[in-house]
Amino acid sequence: MDNADRQTLDALDAFLDHTFQGRPADSTAIDPGLAESARRFYLSDDAPAPDPMFLRQLREDLMINPIPAAYSGASRWQPPVALPPRVAISPTPILGRGPDPAAVRPRRWWLAIEAAAVAVLFVAIVAGYAALNGGSSNPADQPESRIAASTPESAPFGVGEGFSGGGAEVNLPNINNDSAEVRLRRVTFAPGAAWELPAETTWIASVEDGTLTFEWEAARPTEVRDGIISGDRPVTMRNEGTEGAVALLATVAPADQGAPPPTGVAAEELGGGEAHSLPDDPAFAMFGQIAFNKGQGGDVTDTGRDGLALIAVDSGSLRLRHLAGELDVFRGGTATGQPVLADREVTLTAGDAAVITGGAVLTVANAGDDRLRAVFFTIRADSPFPEPGAIVATPSAMASPIITEDGATPAGRADSAEPVDPAECDVEPRPVELTPLVTGTPEPREGEPGYTPEPVIEREEQLPQGQPADTRTIAAVQSLEREFAACYNAGDLPRVLALMTDEAARELLSDLLEGEPVTAESVTDLLATQAGPLPYEEWIALFPVRDVRVLPDGRVGAIVEWGSPGEPTVVQEANFHIYELVDFQGVGTRILLDEELGSFIPDCQRGDTPQSGQGC
Amino acid sequence: MLKPEATGAASPIWLVPRLCDQPGESRERLDLSPTDAELVAHAKRDRRSFGPLYDRYADAVFRFCYRRLGSREAAEDATAQVFTQALAALPRYREGGVFAAWLFSIAGNVVTDAHRRRRVHQPLDAAPDPVDGDPTPEEMAIAGEERTAIMTLLASLPAEQRRAMELRLAGLTGAEVAKTMGKSHRAVKMLQFRAISELRVLMGVTTTDAKEAADGQR
């Protein structure tokens, strides 16, 4: 544009500023035809004035009536937490441990477990591990990086990094105006099958099973296993493996994406629909999975004003209440009717999905007797992910009723402990190949030179003190303990080890080996004696963790209490666990069990008022 | 001027002339009236202080909605929704923003959603191409709407030009239109230049007409 054009545009803009606000305008600097056209257009505005009665009534309503909860200024947002990494444990913690938080020496937590149960565990674990891994010790069979070959140079897409999985930053450059079609599909690739997504599609994929290779122009392919990847350029997804591969695939595009996938690729529609007012670039897209036992529920997300949420039920029955936005229900990928306005309840069953546009504030609950599993996908303007270094947790922990909305540790213990299903043991096992990295000289045992007995903890006030933890930390701790209980009940020692820091793992293995040096050979021999999941009556049951605190050295401590399925209201064991935040390079951070201070009798069981003021 | 400590009902001094009155009437604001930013700051502390902002923009928002929805009833519903959402979202309103741009962004979303609610949902495979949120002629017929002169003109413009001119009719300045549309001011200047040029053709304004009109004004 030359100067004359720019002057014309500026003059017209100034002329319109005046004309459309009813002020005298200088038209000498612009073409008389344009000036007259603008005037006539302005004067042709025959939109009627509003009814004064309506204006008065609305003003009164706004000033007097309460604002709908969905629009209240106080944020109801519970941070949508990312999934824990299902990835091999890296032996590279980056955070120092600092000094011991208290004079009490750590006691090995596993010694507190009944000897008989431990014996069963050993036998069960070896068999379970052998069954799971087919006895293979081939490194190629071991878990590998969650996001293979996803370096910044090779990945122009936003690859999910810096958190323990969940999502990525996305651009939505292909969306014309503010209307788009969003679809969520579960896509199964046969070996050798490939699918090129239509152009002008922004996509995000979570590879759930197998490995997929993502190819796009002018870059080398990115191989993804158990990872999340996104992009806004044409991409071809290919299964180069010999087994099937499954991915959740969300797409955002300006036009119908109805082209069927090619042979060898099966796409199961989970839900989708038209969306308006998507956030500006860059937006944040996230996958999450939620699991609720009977009677459980919780807030899932608040996407912000322009955000979008899509939730699809895998199993069970889900009762959903959306406090803002507009909800469409899909059954088998087909919309079932008119949109549901905010603040209504909707029940979804397996195969159903719901799309909430215009800003979703979403609360869900298990509406049935079976365990509920669902996947959700959100697009929002601001990042839902924790800042680097923050503690992340699992949605199942987030959904736990023990986590209060303001992040406070719950007041008092729940009435009963919950036997945790071994199926919830989902962490990737610690590979045998890594066990040499945790070997070392074991601490002296009772009867050996240098052994110092642990002091007895008589009251909770003797435990290390700290600052109350925030919601995410509480959720992370609860999640870890829940998974620990699940892996214990599953008799899965490699997965139990995956929930521990290297030092804690070393000490556990040392105790299990009864003083024998921890080496790859001795661990392999130990695992060879494991037998599989424990019988139900021998499961451990978990009370909600309490008194979660941040210790002066930066680690986190909490009181963890255990019961049994037969006596769920009786605390059979109370421990003080200390956790450490560990960074897994290229994957994210995760909280792990680092130490246990010996078992003690909870204050409340002695009839005392607990030091924290919280009762049993 | 606004008193930071005032917490009661809206003071009469805040009852300033509305931004948009009947076409042709003066729309100047009183110099002593508080700015939008001052009103917003006060309304954040005291909800009742939202009243003057409502008074300032209610008319313009209603007309904006009417031009897009074509019926008084739909425009009233949308207007109520716009101000309810704005009032509730006010605590999150960023200091330094342009309130008018923010408000009309909400209005645009509300109107788009209103159109969307009218549509009959179809399976995805049968879904029509996404549209820009305006009613189709069939939808307007179903809704019993009649196009006014201004709606006819606006409907003849490409979407972005139309949106710019709708915001102009709501009384926004060029800079405010740019913020509302998320575009540069320069881009909006070009949009409105093209829109006025197109309107000139649509309204049949000849050079002779323009000169006669200009002479008459002098």
Question: What share of chain A in percent tops pLDDT 70?
Answer: 58
Instruction: State whether A338 and B117 contact (CB < 8 Å).
Output: yes
B55 touching chain A per CB within 8 A: yes
Q: How far apart are CA A318 and CA A374, in angstroms?
A: 8
**Alpha carbon of A61: minimum distance to chain B alpha carbons (Å):** 9
The answer to whether B206 faces chain A, any CB pair under 8 Å, is yes
Task: Kindly determine whether residue B79 and residue A35, on different chains, have CB atoms separated by under 8 Å.
Answer: no
Determine the Cα–Cα distance for residues A55 and A96; give it in Å rounded to an integer: 63
pLDDT for position A192: 92
Residue A523 or A167, more confident: A523
Question: What are B127-142's pLDDT values in tens digits?
Answer: 333 334 444 443 443 3
Q: Omega before A191 cis (within 30°)?
A: no
pLDDT at A300 over 50: yes
Q: pLDDT value at position A342?
A: 67
pLDDT above 90 coverage of chain A, percent: 4
Residue in A12, A62, A338 closest to B54 by CB = A62
Statement: residue A478 has pLDDT above 80: yes
Model confidence at B212: pLDDT above 50? yes
- Which of A23, A70, A176 minimises the CB distance to B28? A23
Ramachandran region of residue A482, left (φ > 0), alpha (ψ -120 to 50) or beta? alpha
Structure tokens at B166: 């709708």
A71 → closest Cβ in B67, B88, B185: B88
- CB–CB of A62 and B89 under 8 A? no
Q: Which residues of A touch B24 (CB under 8 A)?
A: 22, 43
Distance from the B109 Cα atom to the nearest Cα atom in chain A, whole angstroms: 7
**pLDDT tens for each residue of B83-109:** 988 888 887 777 677 888 888 888 888
Determine the pLDDT at residue A81. 28
Say whether pLDDT at B154 is over 70: yes
Q: Give the mean pLDDT of chain B.
A: 69
- pLDDT-derived band at B60, boundaries 50, 70, 90: very high
Q: What is the DSSP letter of A311?
A: E
Question: What mean pLDDT value characterizes chain A?
Answer: 66
pLDDT level of residue A439 (50, 70, 90 thresholds): low
Model pLDDT for residues A568-596, shown as the tens digit of each residue: 777 777 888 999 877 654 445 678 888 88
For residue B171, the number of C-alpha atoms closer than 13 Å in the C-beta half-sphere is 28
Q: Find, among A262, A313, A295, A279, the residue nearest to A180 by Cα.
A: A279
Q: pLDDT value at position B12?
A: 24
Query: In this predicted complex, what is the ipTM?
Result: 0.74
How far apart CA A596 and CA A494 sit, in angstroms, is: 19
More confident residue, A349 or A460: A349
Contact A41 B153 (CB under 8 A): yes
Contact B84 A41 (CB under 8 A): no
Residue A585 confidence (pLDDT): 46
Residue A36 scores a pLDDT above 80: yes
Q: Is B32 on the interface with A (CB under 8 A)?
A: no
| Helical packing angle, A52-64 and B72-89, nearest 10° | 30
- Interchain pair A67, B88: CB under 8 A: yes
User: Nearest residue of A to residue B53 by CA position?
Assistant: A59
- Does the beta-carbon distance from A48 to B207 stay under 8 Å? no
Q: How confident is the model at residue B61 (pLDDT cuts 50, 70, 90)?
A: very high
Check if the beta carbon of residue A39 is closer than 8 Å to that of residue A19: yes
Owner of token pair 């009959």: B120
Residue B169 and residue B112: Cα distance in Å, rounded?
18
Asked if the C-beta of B132 comes within 8 angstroms of chain A's C-beta atoms, the answer is: yes
> Would you call A13 an interface residue with chain B, using a CB distance cutoff of 8 Å?
yes
pLDDT in tens, A389-398: 222 222 222 2
Residue A55 has its nearest CB partner, among B58, B169, B172, at B58
Q: From chain B, pick out residues whose CB is under 8 angstroms from the CB of A43.
A: 23-24
Reported as a single tens digit per residue, the pLDDT across A502-533 is: 778 777 777 777 767 777 777 777 776 665 77
